[in-house]
Structure 1
């Protein structure tokens, strides 16, 4: 009797980064096939296409693998959280920054990353819920947060991370002021802020260790960083030093852990979710979905994961 192969959805953004995934497609698909998968491939055509494709085909799939930047991963995770929350995901990073991949030391070589997925374990990673949608590693507002989605794709492909730096420099002459009321675990903060980020990552904007210390990506807690609007050039210098060094003893920068946070503004403000435009919101209710994402990781190669549980089953045993 013929034993039906497992089905794998492979979604990739061929324009992400410098389009290098195109050079490895045959090898990656062959690797999946050798491991007993029938592979349904789909190159994304526009923003939102990855989410739509996964929602349409997730019902028959045993696994999903995506290749692209953090935005592509964001779409895939949103699709899975909405239709099949327990469907495991593999990620082959090919974007310009790849913060989430950096946080977990995922290989940037597509074939090696695919091989790691095939021999990997299931790692239960936290996911953020934001006003009815989801994000993988960061929700942010304020200064610089539009850089990731406003920077021209061709410029990102040619200059990489430098393109973001050039675009960010244009924002320094127009620092925003948001009067906010922030509720965290029964406590209320209120004041003028120019920037805020709610993260589950060791890297944001290509910079490591700016989200705080002792980052555990499946502890059920976000790292929350809020920056008060500077008044003087000395304030700006103090803020920059605090963020870049990860030393949050400044009165101008607040950094703490929380499972949920609600941020209320006096008017609509633009938010960024995983580097993509997240819409205008006057009130943002953000909740940590503890261990909601089932992610394939080669634990022998990834960064040490703070996780008190028995060894997890290998991918080959996941579908038994």
Structure 2
């Protein structure tokens, strides 16, 4: 077998870590090629050129993984190598969803087990994501996080940014459609369309959450301030979540119409638009899992 390793030194991947990972898995392969990213877009480009490899091993965080996914989705299904993740970022949300160890050599040992699992991919217009699409409070939180807090505090930095945004969140109007069917119309403080089960290291705890069921999880709420905090705490504590302000449903496709352009967060990547077409690409990628 042949393996391509895409390593992001900026995510905290040291030469020692890289050496430990290679030492753990090298007996599996006849050839290992290592490519290190230097700037945004490198992982995307490397993934596009990975069709001749059996395994593609990503050493990095959620941003590096997002680039890899977008690169792989340009390949035909049968050309896409199986993906192994060595978490090296701040949150590593999809690695957590796959229940992978955060410690590098332990994660590398999972690759040696060669247990494979199909995973769905979210398609957002011409972009792809594994974990989530966020609008409103979710997008504003990740965009406004202080870089110093992110580097020094990790996931706690996301928590602090969330608290700040609770005070400043403004509702916005959306329409959710599935073909000719109007699913929802009204003001919301956030929209979450998810496939993974973690957001900023915090488990979403949606009862129907699965990354391999061919369905998207759609959650939106019109509450802000303390009611929003109370609702989120109830969800995390497993309490009754019934509320007229809180809506959750599943679908394989949803069209999002916004009255004005909003910042959109797709697995940590940000842009502005007033319209999104979101669908699930069922079992589009294969991952090495416990």
Tell me if both proteins adopt one fold, taking TM over 0.5 as the criterion: yes
1:53 aligns to 2:53 (yes or no): no
Distance in 2, Cα, partners of 1:7 & 1:150: 41
Counterpart position of 1:42 = 35
Q: Is the CA contact 2:93–2:200 (under 8 Å) kept in the aligned structure 1?
A: yes
Counterpart position of 2:19 = 26
Q: Is the CA contact 2:7–2:59 (under 8 Å) kept in the aligned structure 1?
A: yes
Distance in 1, Cα, partners of 2:30 & 2:253: 39
| 3-state SS, counterpart of residue 264 of structure 2 | strand
Q: Runs of 5+ in structure 2 lacking a partner?
A: none
Structure 2 CA distance for partners of 1:147 and 1:47, relative to 1, 3 Å: farther
Distance in 2, Cα, partners of 1:20 & 1:7: 22
Alignment of 1:85-104 (within 5 A): 85=77, 86-104=80-98
Instruction: Please give the per-residue CA displacement for 1:211-251, whole angstroms capped at 9, x wherever unaligned.
Output: x1032221101111111144xx5644543344434543111
Q: Is the CA contact 1:7–1:38 (under 8 Å) kept in the aligned structure 2?
A: yes
Q: Is the CA contact 2:175–2:182 (under 8 Å) kept in the aligned structure 1?
A: no
Instruction: Please give the per-residue CA displacement for 1:58-107, whole angstroms capped at 9, x wherever unaligned.
Output: 13322211011111111101100112433211111111111111112101
Counterpart position of 1:307 = none
Counterpart position of 1:272 = 265
Question: Once the 2 structures are TM-superposed, how far is the Cα of residue 206 of structure 1 from its aligned partner?
Answer: 1.6
Distance in 1, Cα, partners of 2:81 & 2:226: 49
Counterpart position of 2:187 = 192
Structure 2 CA distance for partners of 1:207 and 1:219, relative to 1, 3 Å: same
Q: Is the CA contact 2:235–2:241 (under 8 Å) kept in the aligned structure 1?
A: yes
Counterpart position of 2:285 = 293
Q: Is the CA contact 1:238–1:250 (under 8 Å) kept in the aligned structure 2?
A: no
Q: What is the number of residues matched between the two proteins?
A: 286
| 3-state SS, counterpart of residue 82 of structure 1 | coil
Distance in 2, Cα, partners of 1:176 & 1:238: 17
Alignment of 1:27-176 (within 5 A): 27-55=20-48, 57-85=49-77, 86-176=80-170
Distance in 1, Cα, partners of 2:226 & 2:129: 34
Structure 2 CA distance for partners of 1:192 and 1:9, relative to 1, 3 Å: same
Residue 255 of structure 2 is aligned with which of 237, 257, 262?
Answer: 262
TM, length-normalised to structure 2: 0.90
Q: Is the CA contact 2:255–2:277 (under 8 Å) kept in the aligned structure 1?
A: yes
Distance in 1, Cα, partners of 2:189 & 2:120: 27
Residue 5 of structure 2 is aligned with which of 10, 19, 28?
Answer: 10
Question: Once the 2 structures are TM-superposed, how far is the Cα of residue 140 of structure 1 from its aligned partner?
Answer: 0.7
Question: Once the 2 structures are TM-superposed, how far is the Cα of residue 172 of structure 1 from its aligned partner?
Answer: 2.6
Q: Is the CA contact 1:145–1:271 (under 8 Å) kept in the aligned structure 2?
A: yes
Q: Is the CA contact 2:120–2:213 (under 8 Å) kept in the aligned structure 1?
A: yes
Question: Once the 2 structures are TM-superposed, how far is the Cα of residue 168 of structure 1 from its aligned partner?
Answer: 2.5
| 3-state SS, counterpart of residue 59 of structure 1 | coil
| 3-state SS, counterpart of residue 126 of structure 1 | strand
Distance in 2, Cα, partners of 1:244 & 1:36: 42
Report the aligned-residue RMSD.
2.0
Q: Runs of 5+ in structure 1 lacking a partner?
A: 1-5, 299-320
Counterpart position of 1:249 = 242
Counterpart position of 2:199 = 204
